[in-house]
Amino acid sequence: MKNPSSPKKITWIIGILSGILGIIGHYAHIEYLSEHNYALLLIGFIVLAIGTTFRGL
């Protein structure tokens, strides 16, 4: 099993921003964010998981 590596800064920012927008969309009624809050949260998690799994992302 590979050791996890830290993601690049841009990957980390995209993952965190997507997750935060998903959380905001869950608690606040903002049309686009509220419709896609779970997808945004899932995308943020997947981006961070891929960023720690593969080096250089």
Q: What is the pLDDT of residues 15-55, one digit of tens each?
A: 999 999 999 999 999 898 899 999 999 999 999 999 988 87
Taking the model in full, what pTM does it have?
0.82
Name the residue with higher pLDDT: 3 or 39: 39
Which sequence spans correspond to the domains of the chain? Answer: 9-53
- DSSP codes joined into one string, the chain: -PPP-PPPHHHHHHHHHHHHHHHHHHHS--HHHHHSHHHHHHHHHHHHHHHHHSTT-
